[in-house]
Structure 1
């Protein structure tokens, strides 16, 4: 019987990224794709669920290889503001191990996504006798632009994101779990970045991926920017109407305690972008390591360059999520404007008022 063709990965959008515009954050160089996939063994997949005009949602999978209940990875988690539904948090914090991919989705679809992830994992090689599994699923509320009560993300979408996950460039903006999200007054979505740094005499990579959906006033290179100041109209409402999920990967040989310290810096980095950390925001970071334990531990006193890499990477990933997104009109006729790259550059070039 002829096998069906494999799903084709969508092309990376042509919208500029931060570095394409000459906006460089920090001094450390990015990896070859400036993405979380620059960390060896890490893949990303998206499944976008869009039914115009009411549904703009999806799921994004961050898949480290290998990961499973028999081959867990060291991991840490940090909660900046806990108004969210990060499934799997307690065991992740208690044991310091990650045993599934990390999936991101819409708030009311998170529970279906977790169930689908469990089903997918139980079919993996070596999981035939598994009786316990801790799925890790994060979420943001995309109800401003999407009919969130429809819970449109289903098992087939989860499996598509997992099965098509790949290395290389990562699609950003209005894709996967970022299809319906907004941040800092603009349409946002998925963003990613990476940094290569020297850590204890070895070159190490830190990669981040964000699902940006939080309130506040956008800051770029220290300048406060709003949709009205950039000629994009009225900002979308609500510092209480969003969250940010951050996934950090590194090939540095860190233990769970150290990875928790890394996760803290990822949430701290949102302040650089103008995050409000408001009452209704769920700001979380999950950090995992792929480095071989035989490489020898890294002393805490030597972690400074990695912390800085994560801070810079998250700041750039948030900006990339905004630059890649496009103006979206969704549920109830509400519109989230895109961040205009040309006006952003003109404003940054002008002297501050």
Structure 2
């Protein structure tokens, strides 16, 4: 079971959103990925479209044109098949990898980030995992510390004489996937997906005009038979028990964004365009200045409560 949720803005994923806000659209690589995903699905299930239903692939995109030569359309069928066939569980690469290779985040090199939360047994013991592809503008905030302002990289900074020049290519969209083993129906998953924006906002994200922001959530709790009878039995979390999942989603989203920045490396892209990775030493200096370090070791529920 899954549910997509677009936030205000532009982007591919639900075409109506872009048409409504910005007019017609043509993006590179997305169409080829759709075709490749369809071909791969037909390879895995030869009866699709003949003895069973059709395939409806889901493909998202961000505009990483500052670094990426999007006109080259470099993602090929072989790349897509290799990614799908080599997918496996285990540690995940983060930073400037895969779809995050060309993305930028709040003036620095962005990329792929992941994080998760496990609820206490008393609250269901469910796991909530979040994967982000960060490619958006904003004013970086870490643990409440105004990192972007301190380091002179933030939206509209060119209008303030005391700041560094504003980074090029602001905006650009964000894609977020939320996975959980909590038994949720489509309506509940949509509620979870909507909380992603709250986690993004905690990092300094504000959904700029050109930003297409799409969040999708799915549950692995129940498998629905491909061919079923007249009725299907299912079990879902009660609405009164959803709040812990919401908080887990917000926290994991925030952490995933920060991981995408901290794991990223400086990338030189098309025409020599360069996006620097955030300087971790400078970041730590700002966090120390605002007493934003190690609070997780001092405060509940992880710490011992001693400040």
Short-chain TM bin: 0.7 to 0.9
| Residue 195 of structure 1 pairs with residue 117 of structure 2 | yes
Query: Contact conserved, 1:195 with 1:309, CA < 8 A, in 2?
Result: yes
Residue 257 of structure 2 corresponds to: 318
After superposition, the Cα gap between the structure-2 partners of 1:88 and 1:114, relative to the gap in structure 1 and judged at 3 Å, is: farther
Alignment match, 1:281: 211
What residue is the counterpart of 2:269 in the other structure? 330
Runs of 4+ in 1 over 4 A off after TM superposition: 87-90, 125-128
- For residues 32-53 of structure 1, give each alpha carbon's deviation from its aligned partner in whole angstroms, at most 9, with x where no partner exists: xxxxxxxxxxxxxxxxxxxxxx
Structure 2 unaligned spans of 5+: 18-25, 154-163, 224-232, 292-307
Give how far 1:107 is off.
4.6
Contact 2:183–2:236 (CA<8 Å) still a contact in 1?
yes
Deviation (angstroms), 1:189? 0.4
Q: Name the counterpart of 2:58.
A: 136
For residues 115 and 88 of structure 1, the distance between their equivalents in structure 2, rounded to whole angstroms, comes to 17
> For residue 228 of structure 2, what is the aligned residue in structure 1?
none
The corresponding residue for 1:57 is none
Deviation at 1:227, TM superposition (A): 8.4
| SS of structure 2 residue aligned to 1:115 | helix
Structure with greater helix percent: 2
Q: CA deviation at 1:161?
A: 0.7
Task: Specify the structure having the higher radius of gyration (Cα).
Answer: 2
Greater displacement, 132-141 / 251-260: 132-141
Per the alignment, residue 149 of structure 1 pairs with: 71
* Structure 1 residue 247 corresponds to structure 2 residue 167: no
Kept after mapping to 1: 8 A contact 2:123/2:244 = no
* Runs of at least 5 residues in structure 1 that lack an aligned partner in the other structure: 1-73, 91-105
Q: Provide the C-alpha distance between the structure 2 equivalents of 1:218 and 1:316, rounded to a whole number of angstroms.
A: 13
Cα distance in 2, alignment partners of residues 238 and 111 from structure 1: 24
Question: 5 Å matches for 1:1-353?
Answer: 74-86=1-13, 107-125=27-45, 127-128=47-48, 129-198=51-120, 201-226=123-148, 229=151, 236-239=167-170, 241-292=171-222, 296-351=235-290
Deviation of 1:229 (Å): 1.4
Cα separation, partners in 2 of 1:313 and 1:107, compared to 1, 3 Å: farther
1:194/1:313 contact within 8 Å kept: yes
SS of 2:29's equivalent in the other structure is helix
Aligned to 2:214, the other structure's residue is in SS state: strand
**Conservation of the 8 A alpha-carbon contact between 2:145 and 2:290:** no
Per-residue CA deviation, residues 280-310 of structure 1 (Å, 9 max, x unaligned), is 0001100001113777321111111100000
Deviations 1:123-162 (A, max 9, x none): 2147453441111001111100011111111111111110
Give the TM-score of the pair, scaled to structure 2. Answer: 0.79
Q: Distance in 1 between matches of 2:107 and 2:149?
A: 6
Aligned-pair CA distance for 1:235:
5.1
Gap change, CA 1:273 and 1:258, over 3 Å in 2: same
Mapped partners of 1:185, 1:228: distance in 2: 13
* Residues 198, 305 of structure 1: 8 Å contact kept: no
| Structure 1 residue 212: Cα displacement | 0.5
Normalised by the length of structure 1, the TM-score is 0.69
- 1:226 Cα shift? 2.7
